[in-house]
Chain A
Amino acid sequence: QSALTQPSSVSGSPGQSITISCTGTTDNVGAYNYLSWYQQPPGKAPKVIIFHVNERPSGISNRFSGSKSGNTASLTISDLQAEDEADYYCSSYTRSDTYVFGSGTKVIVL
């Protein structure tokens, strides 16, 4: 199964908002509202920041928000901060009872 499509990098200045897209197909992103986003700082394990399209786990800042339209999901980071610099991955449950990850996006804080 092919990886979901994400931009390779997105950049922004502190205080700005940025949006990362995640595009799949009707077999994954478009099939269910089971889309998650993970933040991975360099050399560390990933951490879930959004699940089920727009749910935030306890302790995750409300600066992170998610949405979905058709086969494309989006992660928005508001009030961008230096600590947000990391790799971000989307992941979707699929009609085949499997998961597929996105190609990953490096967020650069200018």
Chain B
Amino acid sequence: QEQLQQWGAEFLKPSETLSLTCGAYGESFSPGYWSWIRQPPGRGLEWIGQKYRSGTTSYSPSLRSRVTMSLDTSKNQFSLQLTSVTVADTAVYYCASHCSGGYCYYGMQVWGQGTTVTVSS
């Protein structure tokens, strides 16, 4: 079964850097197209950015200046870094694969369990 597992620091102070990693597990599950999405408390989903195995990356215009995504294909892991966090970055962060069953699509097919990140002084 294709699964994504996420981990990373859950409590940050303003100005620190958020760092999360997402690993893909399952027989032959090696996604080549990933996204990060977040959801502030009580609010809707917000797309943060995407990365292809080729290295091509695209970020949300509102977060572009603070976001970096990286992909370690040897470990099947996808990472997110968000610098200079503020209280407004408090949210549940999800990783997602656009690929499933050996095919990739323009839509998030498999989601991680979510990581609640709280920014507070």
Q: Residues of A contacting B106 with CB < 8 Å?
A: 32, 34, 36, 51-52, 93
Nearest neighbor of B44 in chain A, beta-carbon distance: A104
Total contacting residues, chain B, CB less than 8 A: 24
- Segment of B10-18, B22-30, B82-90, B107-115 engaged in the interface with chain A: B107-115
A-B contact count (CB 8 A): 68
Q: With A45-B94, A57-B100, A98-B60 as given contacts, are A91 and B44 in contact (CB-CB < 8 Å)?
A: no
Nearest neighbor of B113 in chain A, beta-carbon distance: A45
A51 close to B47 (CB less than 8 A):
no
Nearest neighbor of B95 in chain A, beta-carbon distance: A45
Q: Residues of B contacting A101 with CB < 8 Å?
A: 37, 44-47
How many A residues touch the partner, as a band? 20 to 34
Contact of B50 among A52, A99, A103 (CB under 8 A): A99
CB of B2, distance to nearest CB on chain A (Å): 11
A36 to B94, CA, bound (A): 17
A3 within 8 A of B: yes
A–B pairs, 29, beta carbons within 8 Å: A1-B61, A3-B44, A32-B106, A34-B106, A36-B107, A36-B108, A38-B45, A38-B108, A45-B112, A45-B113, A45-B114, A46-B94, A46-B108, A47-B111, A48-B108, A51-B107, A52-B107, A55-B105, A91-B45, A91-B107, A91-B108, A93-B106, A98-B58, A98-B60, A98-B61, A99-B50, A101-B37, A101-B45, A104-B45
